[in-house]
Chains A and B, each alone.
Chain A
């Protein structure tokens, strides 16, 4: 595997004394799909928040391609090449699928560029290509609120892809999806990881098995275990934690 694309070093954050994440150091490589698992309150989503700049760490660093992220503002981190998908699908219901994707097109993304923005052939091409990738090619003209739950998840992922991110942070991408949709999503993620890294927070173990190269287990904000799924599954501490709950 190639050089690490993401590194966190002794990352900690506490809210009024409650330590949500404590002294966490993990490393993610390019072309890797990394799953973060752990019982509720283990600090999975908080970890994503810390990486994407949504929450400022109390101490520790986050390094992306050797570049320090802590202290940067959210949109700067996004522009640096990190895409973040939220737990609940968040798309612009009142806009069409096409417009949703278009919104993420990585032009300078200032008010001025947005005002002057014109739909070039190349933009349209990119959007159609991505739409195809996320199984929404034939829904481009429809307003997003008409999409099904799974399709909204995909649309959000698609919107991320338009940004050409090198690191994708996905928070429970298959939550509430039908079995069929899960299959397709797994397929999608496999293709995505080419040339970039994907970090997935997920509860669904079968899904994790399918996609993850390595798994990081969190418990009460601390790193509990890390490694390939098989190894982690056998780890007594992990079993204890899961059965203990």
Chain B
């Protein structure tokens, strides 16, 4: 039964990758961080017109989710298929604030109850529901964006992690939560705007968020927040907490019998990931101008996971670039040949899992080709392919780049 060997080795390779990140992290990260900063803050704004820039801005909001996933999945080993829930909650909090500002009594004078959001009026609500009222305050909104998802994540996480629910079960339960929330939002349209979502958002404290200048500013805000997120991520990975997460993933029981409250640590990283997603969601609402249940559901949640996987679940940078590439790919393909898109993305998922389990970050084209050839020959994968992971990187640099271009440029 030769098959398990490659997978075992690949799992091993993944551990190597993350370990390297944890141990000799201080190395090139700072340079990489600079490059990323230049790319986001200088290169993109120079390269692109407002339209494309706004597009990138939108993609970067997904990158928040990927960052969270790297921490909680790549390191913590907790795969959540419900990140869309948190993305959505963050987005909805922001949307509620903007919607209230957009529906002042004057501009809603045609309604039978002026001063409340239009969709409430259509659903015969005569007054603003209680839980909407606080969202008139921007301060409260900002807090809610972080707190609401955090609380939900904690409520989900604590009981399950205490009972040592993990892996597959956790994934499936979070997935179910996603579908519940989606149904709920669609069903309670009087309070949530239903399937149309909360649309037609105009101003933030009187500042029109639809103008080109506003979009540029929002893009920069978003980029800076993202870089901040990367910073936080690294401060964790470089700390003992980072090593603890790896330890948790590899030997949970040992950690438990070392006197750590494993449940609380897992909850922390899950909550953190939730907050990342929520911030992304809020920025999405600001840049795209609406929020709808189509982000809360299962499909977007899984696509976010995939984006992270493509970039490399073990690398914060990888997650960001992966997200950008996947979404550029999506846009590009659905513009040129819509029919092909699903085939491409589907194939991409499979390829990533089968050939590059560490994503672009850990890509090892030489090994991949070797594996492929040998697999065609029906042989087993040679030790050589992953024998010396430390050597991988330098060797695989070029292929990684070119294959990245191949994924999108062609």
Residues of A bordering B, CB below 8 Å: 52, 73-75, 78-79, 83-84, 86, 90-96, 99, 102-104, 106, 109-111, 114-117, 143, 156, 159, 163
Question: How many Å lie between the Cα of A74 and that of B259 in the bound state?
Answer: 7
Specify which chain A residues have a CB less than 8 angstroms from the CB of B257 in the assembled complex.
52, 74-75, 78, 83-84, 86
Q: 13 A–B contact pairs at CB < 8 A?
A: A52-B257, A74-B256, A75-B262, A83-B257, A86-B253, A90-B253, A94-B246, A94-B250, A103-B247, A109-B259, A114-B244, A117-B240, A163-B258
Report B222-245 CB contacts with A as 1/0, cut-off 8 Å.
000000000000011001110110
Closest to B14 in A: A94
Closest to A107 in B: B240
Closest to A119 in B: B240
List 7 additional contacts besides A114-B244, A115-B240; criterion CB under 8 Å. Answer: A75-B262, A92-B251, A94-B16, A94-B22, A103-B244, A104-B259, A109-B259
Closest to A96 in B: B23
> Which of B23, B244, B258 is the one whose CB lies under 8 Å from A159?
B258
Within 8 Å of chain A (Cβ to Cβ): is B261? yes
Specify which chain B residues have a CB less than 8 angstroms from the CB of A75 in the assembled complex.
256-257, 259-262
| Interface of chain A: mostly helix, strand, loop or mixed | mixed
Closest to B253 in A: A90
Question: How many Å lie between the Cα of A113 and that of B253 in the bound state?
Answer: 20
CB distance from B335 to the nearest CB of A (A): 43
Question: How many Å lie between the Cα of A143 and that of B253 in the bound state?
Answer: 20
Decide if A116 touches B239 in the complex (CB within 8 Å). Answer: yes
Given A92-B250, A111-B264, do A103 and B239 touch, yes or no (CB 8 Å)?
no
CB distance from A159 to the nearest CB of B (A): 7
Specify which chain A residues have a CB less than 8 angstroms from the CB of B19 in the assembled complex.
94-95, 143
Decide if A104 touches B246 in the complex (CB within 8 Å). Answer: no
Decide if A111 touches B250 in the complex (CB within 8 Å). Answer: no
> Which of B239, B247, B264 is the one whose CB lies under 8 Å from A115?
B239
Closest to A78 in B: B259
Decide if A111 touches B265 in the complex (CB within 8 Å). Answer: yes
Decide if B253 touches A103 in the complex (CB within 8 Å). Answer: no
Question: How many Å lie between the Cα of A109 and that of B240 in the bound state?
Answer: 10
Closest to B257 in A: A84
Interface hits, B252-302 → A, CB 8 Å: 253-262, 264-265, 268-269
Residue in A79, A106, A109 with the greatest tally of chain B CB atoms within 10 Å: A109
Question: How many Å lie between the Cα of A59 and that of B292 in the bound state?
Answer: 54
Decide if A90 touches B239 in the complex (CB within 8 Å). Answer: no
Specify which chain B residues have a CB less than 8 angstroms from the CB of A109 in the assembled complex.
258-261
Question: How many Å lie between the Cα of A86 and that of B252 in the bound state?
Answer: 13
Specify which chain A residues have a CB less than 8 angstroms from the CB of B244 in the assembled complex.
103, 111, 114
Question: How many Å lie between the Cα of A96 and that of B16 in the bound state?
Answer: 12
Residue in A99, A110, A114, A159 with the greatest tally of chain B CB atoms within 10 Å: A114
CB distance from A130 to the nearest CB of B (A): 14
Decide if A99 touches B243 in the complex (CB within 8 Å). Answer: yes
Decide if B258 touches A78 in the complex (CB within 8 Å). Answer: yes
Specify which chain A residues have a CB less than 8 angstroms from the CB of B268 in the assembled complex.
111
